[in-house]
Amino acid sequence: MTYRLTRLGLLACSTIAFFAAALPAAAQSGSEVRFINPEPLGPSRGYTYVVEANRPGRIVYLAGQLGTDPSGKVVSADFREQATKAYENIKVALASVGAKWDDVVKMNVYLTDIRAQLPLHREVREKYVNKANPPASTTIEISRLAREGGLIEVEVVAVLPAR
């Protein structure tokens, strides 16, 4: 899939960068990673608008995780069970590199029925993400996932100190 940065997109990125630099962080987990919610963007709902990582270290990209068991089978037809298993799978993947949910700075969430699933997703997500400094987040609806019966896929990016 190819993406083009349009003039409007470039302007939006420039505007966010300007406000992020001009406004103090709403919450911070140390001087190396800042979580910023610029007031002109309005309130966020369980995520952070801008996360700035300014430290030498490691960036960890996790492949999207579904609500599947170790054999790759979808755990249930129930959305909440799939979502919980997807978040547990991410927890395991993070631990494999010495990371935890507090290290996650960005997440992308793919839902198959955003109207029905988004409120349930938010309930599950709240049990895992850092409430003081939630990651930047994008949630979109897609027609289907690669795994038959999958209802949610979550991918994350974490920032860790250098080894």
We report the CATH number of the domain holding residue 90 as: 3.30.1330.40
Question: pTM for the complete prediction?
Answer: 0.75
- Could you tell me if residue 19 is inside a domain? yes
pLDDT classification of 7: cutoffs 50, 70, 90: very low
DSSP letter, residue 74? B
Does residue 32 fall inside a structural domain? Answer: yes
Is the residue at 48 inside a domain?
yes
Q: Is residue 95 part of a domain?
A: yes
Average pLDDT over residues 112-125: 98
Domain limits at 24?
A: 7-161
Q: Cβ atoms within 10 A of the Cβ of 67, count?
A: 27
Determine, yes or no, domain membership for 53.
yes
> Which band of pLDDT confidence, cut at 50, 70 and 90, is reported for residue 42?
confident
Residue 145 resides in a domain: yes
Give how many domains the chain has, as a whole number: 1
CA–CA distance, 161 with 32 (Å, rounded to integer): 9
Please name the residue that has the structure tokens 């955003």.
114
DSSP annotation string for 104-142? EEEEEEEES-HHHHHHHHHHHHTTTS-SSSPPEEEEEE-
Is residue 2 domain-resident? no
In a domain, 1, yes or no: no
| HSE toward the beta carbon, residue 36, CA cutoff 13 A | 20
The pair of three-digit structure tokens given for residue 74, joined into one six-digit string: 């979808």
